[in-house]
């Protein structure tokens, strides 16, 4: 730009604070004369001939770069003898030689930082200077460059912050377990013996294995608690649902009732009855008959799961005493086949008291329904053979000194 300050653009038209009177104003040089007044000895600051920093306000020459004219509303072009090139002189509203006092250069540099090196690259583009901040005085080239420097510094800081955030996030992801342990308090270190406690540091509960669903055979192999002297409500509920007869031959329709207050699984009991009666080793062997479960209408008979006291009362209606041995019966004078809930829940000594609960329950169903179908008791006659299903296996497997093996099926050979 030459020795004078840069020309003002439209955005530089900011009110200039009132300055104190200049010490000694020089007479203005006539515009367009092409000459400048030769400085008299002792008049104004000494000319700067290189080395050191010139006094504030002294015009400076930027190296040996060719000078480009800069235009603005307050600028005028003069042609002198400066390397034969035109140069731009800032119009001074206070007079050609007036100096406006301002803050010391060292003060402004302390806030703006060192200005970036002037390579001359940005002189080829006539950029409008940045708008001044509120309540601020006019900004020169050094302050504008300082603002750009701060902007670039802010952008660089933001980029570094982003990179650090990505690195930290990666470390948290890869070392999640370490962070989780470090973030928990001493109380969170307590764990259950099965290791199922929640991780409070991560806010996520440790997944627990879902309990395995028991199969039909597994359920039927279990014993259930029940008082052998229990007498429940005497009221019955039909197990809802329908199971179609799967086989051929004569079809028997039955209903399953469960006494209220037993605390036993009526659905499991109904499933056991349907599967047992329709097994090919049962009464329908060879397609002679089939069984269908209903929950309404008029069935051929009702298979009833009842407490020992209620079972005894219903068996007594047909002249049978089941209280002595706590057993089941077919109450032929009624429509109920009575299954003693204590035997269903606990089994019998002859079947090992829980060691063969599935087989015992199958025998219990086949034996009592066999009575309903017209079959009487039969005893084993061959030692070591399988006992007939119509033998009173709950009471004994040893009759008249002939000991037989427990058997739940009508046709055990299939």
Highest mean pLDDT among 103-117, 170-184, 292-306: 292-306
What is residue 115's predicted lDDT score, i.e. its pLDDT? Answer: 53
Q: Domain spans of the chain?
A: 1-110, 216-403
Cα distances (Å, whole numbers) of residue 7 to 54, 71, 91: 21, 7, 8
What is residue 19's predicted lDDT score, i.e. its pLDDT? Answer: 46
Mean pLDDT of 198-225: 78
Lowest mean pLDDT among 50-64, 214-228, 376-390: 50-64
pLDDT in tens, 9-27: 444 444 444 545 544 444 4
Please give the residue that has the higher pLDDT: either 393 or 172: 393
Please give the residue that has the higher pLDDT: either 162 or 178: 162
Tokens of 84: 């034969």
Mean pLDDT of 27-43: 45
For residue 276, what is the enclosing H or E element? Answer: helix 266-277
pLDDT in tens, 316-339: 999 999 999 999 999 999 999 999
Beta bridge partners of residue 305, listed in sequence order = 258, 339
What percent of the chain lies above the pLDDT cut of 70?
A: 50
- Please name the fold of domain 216-403: Collagenase (Catalytic Domain) (3.40.390)
What is residue 207's predicted lDDT score, i.e. its pLDDT? Answer: 72
What is the average pLDDT score of the chain?
A: 72
CB 390 within 8 A of CB 408: no
N-terminal to C-terminal alpha carbon distance within the chain: 115
Beta bridge partners of residue 250, listed in sequence order = 289
The pLDDT confidence band at residue 99, using thresholds 50, 70 and 90, is: low
pTM metric for this prediction: 0.53
Mean pLDDT of 50-65: 47
Phi and psi at 236, nearest 5°, equal -120, 150
Q: Tell the residue number behind the tokens 């309990």, with chain if given.
A: 211
Rounded distance, CA 45 to CA 22, Å? 14
Residue 98: partners with Cβ closer than 8 Å, 6 or more residues away: 22, 25, 92
Q: Is the dihedral of CA 387, 391, 395, 396 positive or negative?
A: negative
What is residue 212's predicted lDDT score, i.e. its pLDDT? Answer: 87
Please give the residue that has the higher pLDDT: either 123 or 360: 360
What is residue 209's predicted lDDT score, i.e. its pLDDT? Answer: 78
What is residue 341's predicted lDDT score, i.e. its pLDDT? Answer: 98
Mean pLDDT of 366-395: 97
* HSE-up of residue 14 (Cα within 13 Å, Cβ side): 15
């Amino acid at each position: 730009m030459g020795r004078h300050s840069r020309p003002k653009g439209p955005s530089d038209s900011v009110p200039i604070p009132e300055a104190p009177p200049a010490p000694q104003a020089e007479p203005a040089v006539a515009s367009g004369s092409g000459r400048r007044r030769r400085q008299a000895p002792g008049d104004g600051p000494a000319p700067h001939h290189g080395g050191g920093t010139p006094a504030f306000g002294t015009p400076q020459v930027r190296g040996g770069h060719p000078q480009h004219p800069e235009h603005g509303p307050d600028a005028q072009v003069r042609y002198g003898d400066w390397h034969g090139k035109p140069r731009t002189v800032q119009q001074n509203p206070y007079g050609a030689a007036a100096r406006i006092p301002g803050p010391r250069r060292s003060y402004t540099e302390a806030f703006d930082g060192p200005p970036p090196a002037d390579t001359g690259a940005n002189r080829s583009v006539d950029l409008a200077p940045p708008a001044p901040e509120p309540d601020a005085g006019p900004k020169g080239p050094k302050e504008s460059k300082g603002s750009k420097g701060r902007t670039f510094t802010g952008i660089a800081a933001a980029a570094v912050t982003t990179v650090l955030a990505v690195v930290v996030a990666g470390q948290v992801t890869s070392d999640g377990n370490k962070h989780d342990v470090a973030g928990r308090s001493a109380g969170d270190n307590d764990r259950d013996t099965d290791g199922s406690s929640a991780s409070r540091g991560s806010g996520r509960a440790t997944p627990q294995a879902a309990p395995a669903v028991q199969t039909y055979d597994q359920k039927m192999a279990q014993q259930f608690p029940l008082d052998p002297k229990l007498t429940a409500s005497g009221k019955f509920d039909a197990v809802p649902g329908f199971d179609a007869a799967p086989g051929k031959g004569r079809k028997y329709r039955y209903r399953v009732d469960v006494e209220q207050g037993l605390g036993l699984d009526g659905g499991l009991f109904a499933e056991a009855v349907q599967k047992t009666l329709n097994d090919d080793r049962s009464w329908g062997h060879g397609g002679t008959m089939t069984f269908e479960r209903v929950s309404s209408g008029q069935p051929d008979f009702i298979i009833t799961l009842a407490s020992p006291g209620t079972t005894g009362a219903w068996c007594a209606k047909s002249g049978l005493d089941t209280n002595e041995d706590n057993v089941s019966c077919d109450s032929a004078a009624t429509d109920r086949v009575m299954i003693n809930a204590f035997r269903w829940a606990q089994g019998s000594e002859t079947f090992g008291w829980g060691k063969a609960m599935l087989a015992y329950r199958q025998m219990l169903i086949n034996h009592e329904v066999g009575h309903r179908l017209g079959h009487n008791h039969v005893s084993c006659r061959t030692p070591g053979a399988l006992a007939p299903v119509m033998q009173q296996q709950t009471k004994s497997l040893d009759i008249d000194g002939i000991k037989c093996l427990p058997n739940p099926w009508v046709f055990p050979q299939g």
